[in-house]
Chain A
């Protein structure tokens, strides 16, 4: 039996039952912008960068199950305009200073900004007062750049089995916390080898002492834009069809 298909911006996309629109698109090599999505974890649906219109109705493509015959709009002027606003919201919400950030060139927020031609933050900067936690011997935690994608939370809970991270606060005061009475990363059992140390899409969880080992200009997204890395985000067998 032929597999079912749906349509994104005029292109037919095959899918297997249980796949989300995002998973099917990435498998077919079609890029949909995203930040909180990760191929190894259950979809989360919080960053909303992957918003599309399905048969005229908005939806998050990472959490929406694919169905035969769907008409999906993704790279339309209307949706790109909204995605730009969402990126600008993330940029003003935190303190993002790309020129002095050691994640520059490896940062998905920055890469997506270039990809979608976000040339200004547009909104007024919030300049929140957020702490930097250098208490851990191997890892720096710079919450100024946190976009609250919860990937580290999910990785620590689901893969590492440690629950090092969680969220506290609500609304605009929502923030990442660590699993220690002192509130310090150095007082947790976090380790450089943890999966949670490797999934941050921005520059929050940084291994110490290797900041500029690879010079800016030769980094992951310096050579080719985010969308050219679509293969890295193809769903793994483990994440297929699984959802919270």
Chain B
């Protein structure tokens, strides 16, 4: 029997009883104790000196923390539309049947629960599951059967067949970034050398006034110039110019006792259909850490965090091992590469199942141990970020590109891509194509070329940059992947003519309703209203009135939502109503209005209690026809 208080104490000790480390404290405690009981929450709150309710509030926000008892096994089926297209629902039902349980409910013996979770980033090798937060791709009917057997026999997940846990990289097209061969530390050495050169050349340069703020070393400034020259823009979707962000942070004053700056790598990759950061952190993690260290050098930061999504838990140990190696190589720690005062270290922070934490200010809140709620802005993180200090938050791919730029120069990078979109973009392609996986292209590539190269046939639609991005139809396939045409965080989901676009969108609306943080009224309630509307149409009760209602809700969300999640939640609906309206209209009744209250559905409990499901136990169609006429 595990001694709970001993576990909690050792976890608290490991994290210095620091409340801002609450996410890791909760996760590590849960990994030992299986769930976070009321007593556990009380003990942790006392340990970090926070109000108990605040700790409970954080625990209650994240999908991967359990404040209710859960089974020894928790199977979560990734429920992105691409998993659905690969048959995840049938497999999940089969698994439930074999384990004698209902989805979402703990089995009677308290052994196992089976339910769905938002996209786990294994779209190119689905259907995927997480079992006790360990990722398993390529589920099949056979594997479901074997897994159910292992669960029934209570075999620990650690002893399950190792080949089940193998995650493929599936790199189909590598360009300068994925193909980059750079020795660890090279970009840093080049940056330092560039600074030394500049110091000689520009002993009394006009730049020196800026250096006075940080140090006498012109290196940070000339490295920043290379980043600016490169034209690099953020790869997380929004496309803010990286050089300007770094410069704003560098110029922002630090405050208080622990005055410093922070570098945060956003590896919360939660946008359904996106999995390129997972592959970057597997194949080019040195480059990512190097980019963070270059950023630290430029802005004068002493600490960096990688906010790794909880779904990528399996990457934690390899990344930590790599960080340890970089410390040994003097690429992290005190006096990096012998440069006095260049102190910087990186830590991996694991998320716990909340898409909203991909929003940079929500991410920072989460990193501080709080609920992942986006902040009011201004102020922005570059001036008031982590622990209220100036903070740079960039995407994984941005840091990797920044390392290359530091090593090879801004002009070199600028020579790839288009005039307004320098460099390359990594796409994560899934859905209806022969070769799903990772494709790196110079910016400016046409959608058509991408579709051809991934082996997509009879394509009906492509969802680019995930549900919050854009859905395009064949007549737009000559459009280009670039900030000036179609910007993207990387997701590229292909749907052929056999797919029902309505079901695609319905899946996305369920996603937004599940992932809304709930801070503001329009998003909290509006996303659920939209989800309900889609379910109503799916059930055959939709009318033209409901389509108009979608536009009203869209306008409310556009004008009043607190953050991008709310602003973009209607995008899939708006885009597909424009392009694929028949997908909706063929489901509509020809009525102007149909109440959401479904009389026949209301009788389902009575049917269940009486064990009946025959025609007479349902309201007849005849009756509905009569009411239609009336």
Q: Does A85 contact B (CB under 8 A)?
A: yes
A172, B524: Cβ atoms under 8 Å?
Answer: yes
A196 CB to closest chain B CB, in angstroms? 12
Judged by a CB distance under 8 angstroms, whether A199 is at the interface is no
Query: CB distance A166 to B53 under 8 Å?
Result: yes
Chain A's nearest CB lies how many Å from the CB of B45? 9
Map CB proximity to B onto A28-67 as digits: 1 under 8 Å, 0 otherwise.
0000000000000001011111010100001010010000
Q: Mark B10-43, 1 if CB is under 8 A from A, else 0.
A: 0000000000000000000000000000110110
Report the separation of the CA atoms of residues A96 and B174 in the bound assembly, to the nearest whole angstrom. 58
Contact check, B527 vs A171: say whether CB atoms are below 8 A apart: yes
B522's contact among A86, A92, A124, A172, by CB below 8 Å, is which?
A86
Bitwise, B51-71 to A at CB < 8 A (1) or not (0) is 111101101111100010000
Least CB separation from B377: chain A residue = A63
Question: Judging by beta carbons under 8 Å apart, are A170 and B61 in contact?
Answer: yes
Q: Give Cα distance in the complex from A49 to B56, angstroms.
A: 29
Contact of B518 among A124, A157, A169 (CB under 8 A): A169
Chain A residue numbers with a CB within 8 Å of B604 are none
Do the beta carbons of B521 and A86 come within 8 Å of each other? yes
B520 adjacent to A48 (CB under 8 Å): yes
If the complex has contacts A45-B376, A179-B52, are A172 and B513 also in contact, measured as CB distance less than 8 A? yes
Q: Is A117 an interface residue (CB 8 A)?
A: no
Q: Are A148 and B518 in contact (CB under 8 A)?
A: yes
Cβ-defined contact, B519 with A89, below 8 A = no
B525→A166 contact, CB < 8 A: no
Determine if B521 and A171 form an interchain contact, defined as CB atoms under 8 angstroms apart: no
Tell me, rounded to whole Å, the shortest Cβ–Cβ distance linking A112 to chain B: 12
Label chain B's interface by main secondary structure: helix
Residues on B with C-beta less than 8 A from A58 are 558-560
Whether B51 contacts A163 by the Cβ 8 Å rule is yes
Interface string of A159-181 (1 = CB under 8 A from B): 00001111111111110011111
Cβ of A114 under 8 Å from chain B: no
The verdict on A181 contacting B57 (CB below 8 Å), with A45-B376, A170-B354, A171-B514 known, is no
A172 to B354, CA, bound (A): 14
Question: CB-CB < 8 A to A166: which residues of B?
Answer: 51, 53-54, 56-57
B42 x A124 contact (CB < 8 A):
no
Residue of A nearest to B529 (CB): A123
The number of residues on chain B lying at the interface, defined by a beta carbon within 8 Å of a beta carbon of chain A, is: 48
- Is A126's CB within 8 Å of the partner chain B? yes
Q: B54 touches which one: A85, A90, A163, A182 (CB < 8 A)?
A: A163
B53 touches A170 (CB 8 A): no
Is B526 positioned at the interface, with any CB of A under 8 Å from its CB? Answer: yes
CB contacts under 8 Å to A, within B51-109, are 51-54, 56-57, 59-63, 67
Decide if A51 touches B519 in the complex (CB within 8 Å).
no
Q: Is B401 an interface residue (CB 8 A)?
A: no
Is A170 a contact of B60 with CB atoms below 8 Å? Answer: yes
Q: Is B371 among interface residues, defined by CB-CB distance under 8 A?
A: yes
Measured CB to CB, the nearest residue on chain A to B57 is A166
Distance (whole angstroms) from the CB of B54 to the closest CB of chain A:
5
A102 at interface by CB-CB < 8 Å: no
B525 touches A165 (CB 8 A): no
A interface residue numbers (CB < 8 A to B): 43, 45-49, 51, 53, 58, 60, 63, 79, 82, 85-86, 89-90, 92-93, 123-124, 126, 147-148, 157, 163-174, 177-183, 243-244
Sorted from nearest, which 9 A-B pairs have the closest CB atoms? A168-B60, A166-B53, A163-B51, A174-B518, A89-B525, A179-B53, A171-B516, A48-B560, A166-B57
